[in-house]
Amino acid sequence: MTKTYAMTGGASGIGAALKESLQARGDRVIVVDLKNADIIADLSTVEGRQHAIAGITELATDGLDGFVACAGLPPVAEPLSLITQVNYFAAVATIEGVVDLVAKKNGAIVSVCSNSAPLPGLNEEHIELLLAGKEAEACALIETLDGHNAYAGSKNALTKWTRRNAAEMMRKGVRLNGIAPGMTRTPLTDKVFADETLGDATREFSKCISYGDLATPDMIADAMLFLLDPAARYVSGSILFVDGGQDALLRPDQF
Ligand SMILES: NC(=O)c1ccc[n+]([C@@H]2O[C@H](COP(=O)([O-])OP(=O)(O)OC[C@H]3O[C@@H](n4cnc5c(N)ncnc54)[C@H](O)[C@@H]3O)[C@@H](O)[C@H]2O)c1
């Protein structure tokens, strides 16, 4: 039977790879993005998120087998508050907005986190504001911080939000898991490599990937397919690192 999935950020990179894999096996995919999507929505705004949720609800009347919150911006995006809005608040709002549709089919939700989430140097007050849902305050604070805090901080909070909400989702019959990709060859990473400040540091950091190279988007999509699949029916509240071994190298004793 044809399955129906929805995702944000399916027009490019990792999201596009997942969309192609799902479509290749005959599944229906509803994509929300700024362009090249079934639902055009700017997820940085509350109105855009509402438009996205209303659009998905209209297109997926029988419910969703899965939802992936994949839209994201790199640490070099400007203003920094855009990263806060898209990477954290849009992910949480869209997941909350479609959970009942996913519950209809006892489906699965994947939040796209990052292996940068546990990196040191993050401002705790910013992360607390995100988790408290204080968007205006978090956006104001991030403008006084930096791209690392905006990006890794948003992913740190999204990881914690995923863990904190998995039990409640499970009670609704929905599995909520996070995926933590490492550096992956996508337009997002190209933008970081091209940045005067972060480019060289990121290239240097990428040299410690145990696998020996960056991921390709399909490597991340394959792991997402597992989290969405009934094969993962007992997996809930997990954060799956798909990063060529980088997190294990940096934090061998933390799990
Ligand atoms: N590429 C990596 O190395 C890497 C590593 C860890 C995590 N991630 C995460 O994976 C996800 C996908 O990243 P990617 O590398 O494929 O990036 P990408 O830039 O190729 O794709 C991101 C997508 O998000 C969409 N998007 C951005 N802002 C939006 C907005 N305001 N409204 C609607 N859509 C918007 C873009 O249009 C784009 O299609 C992101 O959440 C990213 O943070 C990526």
- As for how many domains the chain has, the answer is 1
Q: Would you state the pLDDT for residue 14? A: 98
Report CA(212)–ligand 1 centroid distance (Å). 23
The mean-pLDDT minimum among 53-57, 129-133, 159-163, 189-193 falls in 189-193
Q: Which residue segment(s) compose the domain that 155 sits in? A: 4-242
Is the predicted pLDDT of residue 236 greater than 90, yes or no? yes
Mean pLDDT across 173-202: 94
Q: Would you state the pLDDT for residue 111? A: 98
Q: Is residue 82 part of a domain?
A: yes
Report CA(219)–ligand 1 centroid distance (Å). 15
Confidence class of residue 31 from pLDDT cuts 50, 70 and 90?
very high
Which residues participate in catalysis according to the annotation? 151
Confidence class of residue 228 from pLDDT cuts 50, 70 and 90?
very high
CA distances from 229 to 68, 167, 195, 219 (A): 12, 19, 37, 16
Q: Is residue 252 part of a domain?
A: no
Using most ligand atoms within 8 A of CB, pick from 8, 12, 111 the residue to mutate for ligand 1: 12
Ligand 1 atom, smallest distance to 82 CA: 31
Q: Is residue 42 part of a domain?
A: yes
Q: Is residue 255 part of a domain?
A: no
Q: Is residue 227 part of a domain?
A: yes
Q: Would you state the pLDDT for residue 89? A: 98
pLDDT single digits (tens) 114-162 = 999 999 999 999 999 999 999 999 999 999 999 999 999 999 999 999 9
Q: Would you state the pLDDT for residue 167? A: 98
Report CA(188)–ligand 1 centroid distance (Å). 6
CATH of the domain at 75: 3.40.50.720
Q: Would you state the pLDDT for residue 1? A: 83
Q: Return the percentage of the chain with pLDDT > 70, whole number.
A: 100
How many CB atoms sit inside 10 A of residue 179's CB?
Answer: 26
Q: Is residue 250 part of a domain?
A: no
Mean pLDDT over all residues of the chain?
A: 97
Give which of 174, 151, 150, 149 is closest to 162, Cα–Cα: 174
pLDDT single digits (tens) 67-108 = 999 999 999 999 999 999 999 999 999 999 999 999 999 999
Q: Would you state the pLDDT for residue 207? A: 87
Determine which residue's CA is closest to atom 14 belonging to ligand 1.
Answer: 13
Task: Confirm or reject: Cβ of 186 under 6 Å from ligand 1.
Answer: yes
Q: Is residue 248 part of a domain?
A: no
Q: Is residue 67 part of a domain?
A: yes
Is the predicted pLDDT of residue 208 greater than 90, yes or no? no
